[in-house]
């Protein structure tokens, strides 16, 4: 090589990239296919009843709790949110 030359020889390990390893275990299908399960028709009366209860559930629960109980639940929820961070 000539003195002062910026040409640099590359080693084999710098030019060759190894392929990614494939997983030895194939991924599992986490969602059951619709062919595996028979279709279930929902009872409209039960759906309406569940929705009616769901719409008023939290509000009715909070109205039944005392101020101290609501405060304790709020503090517990805030602590859980801060614990995640």
pLDDT at 3: 58
Mean pLDDT by 10 residues, the chain (85 residues): 60 65 67 63 83 80 92 95 85
pTM: 0.37
Q: Cα–Cα distance between 12 and 45 in angstroms, integer?
A: 72
Handedness of CA 48, 53, 56, 58 (dihedral sign): negative
Specify the number of domains making up the chain.
1
Does any domain span residue 19?
A: no
Does any domain span residue 29?
A: no
Does any domain span residue 65?
A: yes
Does any domain span residue 67?
A: yes
pLDDT at 67: 93
Write out the residue range of the structural domain in which residue 70 sits. 44-85
Does any domain span residue 11?
A: no
Judge contact between 45 and 53, C-beta under 8 A: no
With H, G, I as helix, E, B as strand and everything else as coil, classify residue 1.
coil
Burial class (CB in 10 A: 0-12, 13-18, 19+), 7: exposed
pLDDT at 74: 94
Nearest 10 degrees: Cα torsion 40, 44, 46, 47: 90
pLDDT at 77: 93
Does any domain span residue 10?
A: no
pLDDT at 41: 83
């Amino acid at each position: 090589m000539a003195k002062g030359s910026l040409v640099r020889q590359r080693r084999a390990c710098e030019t060759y990239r190894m392929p990614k390893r494939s997983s030895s275990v194939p991924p599992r299908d986490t969602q059951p296919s619709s062919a595996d399960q028979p279709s279930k028709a929902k009872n409209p009366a039960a759906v309406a009843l569940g929705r009616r209860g769901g719409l008023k559930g939290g509000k009715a629960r909070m109205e039944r709790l005392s101020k101290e109980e609501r405060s304790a639940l709020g503090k517990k929820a805030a602590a859980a949110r801060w614990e995640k961070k």
